Amino acid sequence: MKTKKNILFAIIILVFTFAIQGMSATPIAVVLKVKGKVYIVRGGNKANALKPKRGFRLEDGDKLMTDKKSYVAIRFIDDGSTVRIRANSTCFIRGKKEKNEILKNIQLAVGTIFARVTKQKGKL
């Protein structure tokens, strides 16, 4: 009887753990174009850097890094604002989703970016 309760308790814990992880992974932007070597670091773990392709979804806190002769263009999903992160750049993409808008923040650590900002639904 105790083992059945323990197994049920473990299953409930696992379900809640996966549900919480799924809720935190809300996409805020999408990759439009990648040229050259571009890396995305999630959760601060550089060892597991991702190589994005067109359509890759960016989440809050993602770190984008570009190498020599490379760039990445991204578009925010709420209002269509476009940002191009140029060669030899590092930036952090942060966003908090509220209703139908995203409160956006791009923190440029080093390098250059080009932004085409449309009429905002959220804040940039």
Per DSSP, 47 falls in state G
Contact 89, 55 (CB under 8 A): no
Given pLDDT bands bounded at 50, 70 and 90, which one contains residue 32?
Answer: very high
Q: Would you state the structure tokens that stand for residue 48, as one six-digit string?
A: 């597991």
The angle subtended at Cα 106 by Cα 102 and Cα 111, nearest 5°, is: 160
Question: What's the whole-number mean pLDDT along residues 22-29?
Answer: 72
The string of pLDDT tens digits covering residues 71-123 is 999 998 888 889 999 999 999 999 888 877 888 889 999 999 988 877 766 56
- What residue type is assigned to position 37 of the chain? K
Contact 103, 65 (CB under 8 A): no
Q: Would you state the structure tokens that stand for residue 76, as one six-digit string?
A: 């925010």
Average pLDDT, the chain: 83
Q: Calculate the dihedral angle through the C-alpha atoms of 48, 72, 108, 69, rounding to the nearest 10 degrees.
A: 90
Question: What's the whole-number mean pLDDT along residues 35-54?
Answer: 90
> Of 27, 116, 40, which Cα lies nearest the Cα of 77?
27
Q: Cα dist. 110→63, 81, 87, 99 in Å?
A: 12, 21, 10, 32
